[in-house]
Structure 1
Amino acid sequence: MTTYPAWQAGQRITAGRLRSGQPDWTSKPSDEPIASSTTLQADDHLTSPVLGGSAYTFLAQLFIGSGSSDADIRVAFDFPAGSVCHFGGTGAHPGALTSGTSGVVDFFPMRAAAPGGGGDTFLAFGISSAFNTWVRIEGTLAAAADGDLTLMWAQNAPDATETRVLAGSSMEVRRRS
């Protein structure tokens, strides 16, 4: 398996080459709310630059809060046009959580996502009105052009009560080739 960066015998170790193999890690410094909307929007903080012709793996860990278990949350990614992205996630099944109870935890596979969550290329997860919930999403991206890999999200069902992706949620993107 090819790893990035590819080291050659006798090559100098430099700070730049060492940094190039480290993941890009971003974290939300503050809560971000959405109310009464199922239209996917770019997250204000969870984004990472990608280079065309490179392959990446990524992991997003989201802490989600809501005052309503009816809204749930939908999650997708935006990335450069022509790229190939596959992702799946683990979290509560939509509609499975009600006030004060725990629900079914599922693995949701997704294949051949469209940039910006077009079509049905989003995942939906349940949230609770009584406690914060957690979602884990992993995936791969073969970037066709320079641009950004950006988390997108919205309520899965419109509700006037805010759904929030909480401070401390994070995304790690690692270049593989």
Structure 2
Amino acid sequence: MPLPATRTVTGTYTNPANGEPANGTVILTPIPVVWTDTSGEQVLAGGDTIPLVGGEFSQPLVTTDADGVEPASGRYWRLEERLDGVPHRTRVFALPLGDGSPIDVTDLVAADPGAAGYTPVEGPAGPAGAQGPIGPAGPTGATGADGAQGPQGIQGPTGATGATGPQPPLGGQGAGDAVALRSTDVLLVHKAADESVASSITLQDDDHLTLPVVAGGVYALDAFLDVEADPAADILLGWSAPAGATLSWTETGISAGNTGNIGSIKQSRLDVATSSAIGIVATGSVVRPAGVLRVGGTAGFLRLRWAQSVSSTTPTVLKGGSWIRLMRSA
């Protein structure tokens, strides 16, 4: 039965002392000793002892990379050299098909005078050795530059203001006359702009100075009124409050008819239904009303009302920034 792919291996042995051909034999044995030719359906087993003729041998051998032969890898040939007068030597080689031409054994194995069993081909892998110690850590690499910052996003619209939360209850009466106040018990309103009245002595509600009051509430009142007027016209002040409310108040300003800010001070005790004329000079005067408001069973608004005391075509002006304040005490 034909063999799988073969290639002829040759060898020449010469005595280096006299140049004569060496005598002896070579033994060629496969590794492993049994191969299986699956393509040719035959088992390849054993090797051969070949005598040297004129110091030479020539032998066709199945190549170690022949197709259809098992094991598919790890196949080699063992060469035992039994030369007369020379210690025996064993070497291993792989035999590739290559171009199929005869190949000298010296091209397949390498001589090593220091190790008679030297072979250049790779044998089966040995067991893994123990892991060596971990080497020292390398230097830390330089920190990369920060990337460019992305553009700032567009701010979204401001949400609507939420409803005012419930207020805490009024504080209890202290041991003395003091009363604990909530933030909503101090009410303050500023006048948003100048307001003028000319040629009128009829009281009218101020455009801005109005504050809400609750039923049953008791409030301390004070105000700061910045006024300019014809000294002959002055200003007439009054108030309006919810039905059933009482107001005890005083003007705290110079008497009407004064032409300078130095003069008698008016501090009459007045009620909610009573108005009073206060003196104002052309360069301006300040009026500081104060009082106590007691609201009955009806809630509503406390409003400042004013007019000229004497009709004049020169306007009486209540300046922006003027204010009134209520502080609840009960």
Give the TM-score normalised by structure 1: 0.81
Q: Does 1:26 align with 2:189?
A: yes
Q: Does 1:5 align with 2:164?
A: no
Instruction: Summarize the Cα distance change of 1:138–1:102 in structure 2 as closer, same or farther, 3 Å threshold.
Output: closer
Which amino acid in structure 1 is aligned with residue 329 of structure 2? Answer: R
- Tell me the CA shift for residue 7 of structure 1: 3.7
Q: Deviations over 1:42-62 (max 9, x none)?
A: 111111000111111111110
> Highest relative contact order (Cα 8 Å, sep 6+), 1 or 2?
1
Aligned twin of 1:146: 299
Tell me the distance in 2 between the aligned counterparts of 1:171 and 1:33: 18
**Identity fraction in percent:** 32
Which amino acid in structure 1 is aligned with residue 325 of structure 2? Answer: E
Instruction: Verify the 8 A CA contact 2:240 2:272 in the aligned structure 1.
Output: no
Q: Please, which of 159, 169, 173 is the counterpart of residue 312 of structure 2?
A: 159
Q: Please, which of 287, 290, 304 is the counterpart of residue 135 of structure 1?
A: 287
Give the TM-score normalised by structure 2: 0.45
Instruction: Summarize the Cα distance change of 1:54–1:124 in structure 2 as closer, same or farther, 3 Å threshold.
Output: same
Which amino acid in structure 2 is aligned with residue 40 of structure 1? Answer: L
Instruction: Verify the 8 A CA contact 1:43 1:150 in the aligned structure 2.
Output: yes
Tell me the distance in 2 between the aligned counterparts of 1:20 and 1:75: 27
4+ runs deviating over 3 angstroms: none
3-state secondary structure, aligned to 1:109:
coil
| Larger Rg over CA atoms | 2
Tell me the distance in 1 between the aligned counterparts of 2:261 and 2:269: 24
Tell me the distance in 2 between the aligned counterparts of 1:102 and 1:79: 30
More strand as a share of residues: 1
Q: Deviations over 1:47-97 (max 9, x none)?
A: 10001111111111100012x211100111110111111100211110012
Aligned twin of 2:263: 104
Tell me the distance in 2 between the aligned counterparts of 1:28 and 1:65: 15
3-state secondary structure, aligned to 2:314:
coil
Instruction: Verify the 8 A CA contact 2:266 2:278 in the aligned structure 1.
Output: no
Aligned twin of 2:219: 56
Structure 2 residue runs without a partner (length 5+) = 1-168, 174-180
Q: How many residues align?
A: 154
Structure 1 residue runs without a partner (length 5+) = 9-16, 115-120
CA RMSD after TM alignment:
1.7
Instruction: Summarize the Cα distance change of 1:111–1:150 in structure 2 as closer, same or farther, 3 Å threshold.
Output: same
Which amino acid in structure 1 is aligned with residue 225 of structure 2? Answer: L
